[in-house]
């Protein structure tokens, strides 16, 4: 590690633990939650690696986390950021084989985050990248793609049609195209009429616009026809509840995000009783804990193959320099046509 | 069938199908939904029996049903009533062995209901009664006891503590005493302070009063201590949601009734995601469809043994003559210390 600097630039969490709020991922000013600092470059422990950052992605889960609304407590003074692409420049005992490799990585819970010149994680959270996968794709290859794979797998066990909200999000698009490739019938929910065409091209069997005053009626007709049993929902608002109520017997409303801060009322409790409907959640961390490593590796290999051959790609709305994250993140997030990527 | 009358007195459903409302079981005037009539005595088909009524019970599910808020559509002109005790006075082909027996019965869905001088059901919905089981106990031996058995069984699969709302109801008391007998720790929710003592005697590990302004805080402490994973809920209101939110990881809110007409808001969607909590329902009909007959028979035998030896008994608040049901049911239901029983 002799050629590594002593200190590095990093974007740190300002607060500890949970906020106790449930506002959703929107941020007006990143400096409310984050601050820039020069801190010591961390040293990898046994089984760990040190990564020199190439690109870090900004996921909704990152925003939930820095706001203290995620499933894990914040650690004050730790760099933010769950996921990225980087080069392994130092290794702890047992991780030597990875030295020098370009990898996708997710940070280990409680470890130093990705929004820094250097980051630490467990060797098992690194996926060596094929040369034909770009840094941008490599920086968004874990959280969203694995979530998409895992959730579509859940949907597939309950039939061929499934519902995806916020379908223009990176994750939504991955699920629609994956569903199509598997011969399933994704029903996409979007907010804007102009998203209908592109999602149909991507493979959605139906696309419904949630701002259409007749959307519930139209969805009920689609639902009666295609019989979706699984609703993969990133929004989790009253509209979600209304659409769930229009789904058939045994439907499952699986929330994996809370883009809206509206608190949905359960207007049809009787459907849980008489129609065996269920409301539940999905969290990638829980999925990884409960899914055998061999199954995870199979899914990871399939994800990378999809990025390498162009079936999947990461739409990037902006590249934001790491040193501009605190001042510029809120503004960069205003463009909703792709993902914000952080570069050193 | 030569000694049977041609016609009988019956209390009929006035409406068809569903009301589209979700008001809960309270009724101000039974004549809004029911009317008395003299109708032909029905004839049992193959596999069916004709029962001469001894006692019919009034369950919350009967009230949901006559209001059009149940999981099955009403049939206009059919007698109401799901459950009773009677003598088999005629049999269809294949059911001859039951002739003359005193039985507990549940009506088959779509069949002629129990609130009539005579009722029809499937032979398999009849349970011959031991002489040491009273008519009153026999008339309330299917819906509530099987529900109690099935739900406590679900709870037991997830640990030793579980939560029961409306614990002073007949079903609530069955679940508390069953839980105690099985060595479990029932946590009972009641509305009135004076119910605390009797429920503790019955076997509740803890009893909490939902009208206590500190109930959520007190429940959170009990929950942190006993770690209940299952909430068997007949009320399904905002208080239910708050208590569910105070339960630990992997908790399941299982609604089996909607005594309140308040629509609960989901204030902690993130718990579904990050804590693997679930919201679902329980309906005896679904349980019977999905549970092998041998398991059902074992449960039914155990239920009858409990009534015969006095471990369980049916608290009766009033005996209401069948001919007074339309005019007197709403008034009779005002007493909440037991079940209303209808007699011919």
Q: Which two tokens stand for residue A307?
A: 């990025």
Collapsing DSSP to helix, strand or coil, B307 comes out as helix
Residue B180's alpha-carbon distances to A44, A46, A75, B155, B242, in angstroms, are 53, 50, 43, 13, 26
Chain A hits for B257, Cβ within 8 Å: 273
Chain A hits for B277, Cβ within 8 Å: 280-281
Q: Which helix (H) or strand (E) holds A325?
A: helix A325-332
pLDDT band of residue B104 (cuts 50, 70, 90) is: very high
A239: distance to nearest CA of chain B, Å?
A: 13
Task: Please give the ipTM for the structure prediction.
Answer: 0.89
Beta strands A102-106; A126-128: pairing state = antiparallel
What's the confidence (pLDDT) of residue A148?
94
Would the CB atoms of A279 and B276 count as touching at under 8 Å?
Answer: no
End-to-end CA distance of chain B: 20
> Which tens digit of pLDDT belongs to each residue from A185-210?
999 999 999 999 999 999 999 999 99
Q: Which two tokens stand for residue A139?
A: 């920086």
What's the confidence (pLDDT) of residue B3?
82
Would the CB atoms of A281 and B281 count as touching at under 8 Å?
Answer: no
Q: What does the DSSP assignment read for A224-293?
A: HHH---EEEESS-SHHHHHHHHTS-TT-EEEE----S----B-S-HHHHHHS--EEEE--HHHHHHHS-H
What's the confidence (pLDDT) of residue B136?
95
> Which tens digit of pLDDT belongs to each residue from A79-123?
999 999 999 999 999 999 999 999 999 998 777 899 999 999 999
Instruction: Give the separation between CA A293 and CA B268, rounded to whole angstroms.
Output: 31
What's the order of all strands across the beta sheet hosting B252-255?
A: A206-209, A185-190, A161-164, A230-233, A252-255, A278-281, B278-281, B252-255, B230-233, B161-164, B185-190, B206-209
Q: Which two tokens stand for residue A181?
A: 């490739």
Nearest to B234 by CA among B318, B178, B171: B171
Backbone angles phi, psi at B63, to 5 degrees: -70, -45
Would the CB atoms of A272 and B280 count as touching at under 8 Å?
Answer: yes
Choose which CATH entry (3.90.180.10, 3.90.1150.10, 3.30.2320.50, 3.40.640.10) describes domain A7-140+314-343: 3.90.180.10
What's the confidence (pLDDT) of residue A202?
94
Q: Which residues of B touch A (CB under 8 A)?
A: 22, 69-72, 236, 255-258, 263-283, 286
- Please, are residues A226 and A206 in contact by the beta-carbon 8 Å criterion? yes
Instruction: Give the separation between CA B37 and CA B136, rounded to whole angstroms.
Output: 25
- Please, are residues B189 and B208 in contact by the beta-carbon 8 Å criterion? yes
Chain B hits for A21, Cβ within 8 Å: none
- From the list B263, B269, B271, which residue is nearest A267 (CB)? B263
- From the list A263, A267, A273, which residue is nearest B71 (CB)? A273
pLDDT band of residue A2 (cuts 50, 70, 90) is: low
Instruction: Give the separation between CA B125 and CA B326, rounded to whole angstroms.
Output: 26
End-to-end CA distance of chain A: 20
Chain B hits for A69, Cβ within 8 Å: 270
Mean pLDDT of chain B: 93
Residue A1 has pLDDT above 60, yes or no: no
Residue A278 has pLDDT above 90, yes or no: yes
B200: distance to nearest CA of chain A, Å?
A: 29
Over range B103-108, report the average pLDDT: 92
Over range A32-47, report the average pLDDT: 96
For A249, the closest chain B residue by CA position comes to: B71
What's the confidence (pLDDT) of residue A246?
97
pLDDT band of residue A63 (cuts 50, 70, 90) is: very high
Nearest to B113 by CA among B158, B146, B75, B152: B75
Any idea which of A74-78, A123-127, B198-202 has the lowest mean pLDDT? Answer: A123-127
Collapsing DSSP to helix, strand or coil, A318 comes out as strand
Chain B hits for A252, Cβ within 8 Å: none
Over range A20-46, report the average pLDDT: 92
Residue B14 has pLDDT above 80, yes or no: yes
What's the confidence (pLDDT) of residue B2?
55
The arrangement of secondary structure in A154-285, i.e. its CATH architecture, is: 3-Layer(aba) Sandwich (3.40)
Over range A144-150, report the average pLDDT: 92
Residue B279 has pLDDT above 90, yes or no: yes
A310: distance to nearest CA of chain B, Å?
A: 31
Would the CB atoms of B277 and A272 count as touching at under 8 Å?
Answer: no
What's the confidence (pLDDT) of residue B311?
87
Chain B hits for A270, Cβ within 8 Å: 22, 69-71, 258, 281
Chain B hits for A286, Cβ within 8 Å: 274, 276
Higher-confidence residue of B20 and B320: namely: B320
Q: Which two tokens stand for residue A167?
A: 């379908």
pLDDT band of residue B338 (cuts 50, 70, 90) is: confident
Instruction: Give the separation between CA A269 and CA A290, rounded to whole angstroms.
Output: 30
What is the CA angle B139-B141-B142, rounded to 5? 110
Q: What does the DSSP assignment read for A15-84?
A: S-B--S----S--S-GGGTEEEEEEEPP---TTEEEEEEEEEE--HHHHHHHTT-SSS-B-TTSB--SEE
Q: Which residues of A touch B (CB under 8 A)?
A: 22, 69-72, 236, 255-258, 263-283, 286
Residue A302 has pLDDT above 90, yes or no: no
Domain boundaries, chain A: 7-140+314-343, 154-285
Chain A hits for B286, Cβ within 8 Å: 274, 276
Burial class (CB in 10 A: 0-12, 13-18, 19+), B217: exposed
What's the confidence (pLDDT) of residue A295?
84
Backbone angles phi, psi at B146, to 5 degrees: -65, -40
Would the CB atoms of A71 and B282 count as touching at under 8 Å?
Answer: no
B323: distance to nearest CA of chain A, Å?
A: 31
Q: What percent of chain B has pLDDT over 70?
A: 99
Over range A152-170, report the average pLDDT: 95
Residue A319's alpha-carbon distances to A34, A57, A79, A326, A332, in angstroms, are 18, 9, 19, 14, 9
pLDDT band of residue B313 (cuts 50, 70, 90) is: confident
Residue B11 has pLDDT above 90, yes or no: yes
pLDDT band of residue A301 (cuts 50, 70, 90) is: confident
What's the confidence (pLDDT) of residue A70?
87
Residue A37's alpha-carbon distances to A11, A50, A333, B143, in angstroms, are 6, 19, 22, 65
Higher-confidence residue of A120 and B71: namely: A120
Would the CB atoms of B255 and A272 count as touching at under 8 Å?
Answer: yes
């Amino acid at each position: 590690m002799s050629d590594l600097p002593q200190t590095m630039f990093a974007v740190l969490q300002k607060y500890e633990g949970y906020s106790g709020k449930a506002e959703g991922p929107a941020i007006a000013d990143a400096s409310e939650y984050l601050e820039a600092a020069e801190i010591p470059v961390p040293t990898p422990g046994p089984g760990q690696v040190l990564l020199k950052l190439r690109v870090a992605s900004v996921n909704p889960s990152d925003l939930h986390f820095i706001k203290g609304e995620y499933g894990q407590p914040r650690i004050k003074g730790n760099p933010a950021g769950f996921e990225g692409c980087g080069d392994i420049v130092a290794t702890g005992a047992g991780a030597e084989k990875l030295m020098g490799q370009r990898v996708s990585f997710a940070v280990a819970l409680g470890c130093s985050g990705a929004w820094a010149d250097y980051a630490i994680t467990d060797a098992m959270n690194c996926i060596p990248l094929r040369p034909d996968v770009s840094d941008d794709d490599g920086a968004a290859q874990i959280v969203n793609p694995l979530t998409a794979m895992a959730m579509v797998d859940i949907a597939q066990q309950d039939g061929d049609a499934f519902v995806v909200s916020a379908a223009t999000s990176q994750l939504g698009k991955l699920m629609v195209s994956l569903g199509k490739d598997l011969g399933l019938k994704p029903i996409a929910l979007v907010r804007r009429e102009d998203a209908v065409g592109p999602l149909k091209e991507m493979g959605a069997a139906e696309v419904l616009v949630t701002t259409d005053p007749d959307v519930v009626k139209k969805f009920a007709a689609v639902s009666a026809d295609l019989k979706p049993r699984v609703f993969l929902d990133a929004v989790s608002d009253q509209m979600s509840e209304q659409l769930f109520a229009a789904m058939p017997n045994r439907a499952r409303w699986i929330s994996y995000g809370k883009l809206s801060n509206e608190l949905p009322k359960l207007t049809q409790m009787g459907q849980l009783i008489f129609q065996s409907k269920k409301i539940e959640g999905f969290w990638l961390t829980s999925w990884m804990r409960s899914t055998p490593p061999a199954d995870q590796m199979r899914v990871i290999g399939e994800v990378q193959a999809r990025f390498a051959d162009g079936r999947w790609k990461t739409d990037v709305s902006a590249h934001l320099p790491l040193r501009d994250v605190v001042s510029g993140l809120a503004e960069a997030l205003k463009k909703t046509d792709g993902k914000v990527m952080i570069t050193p």
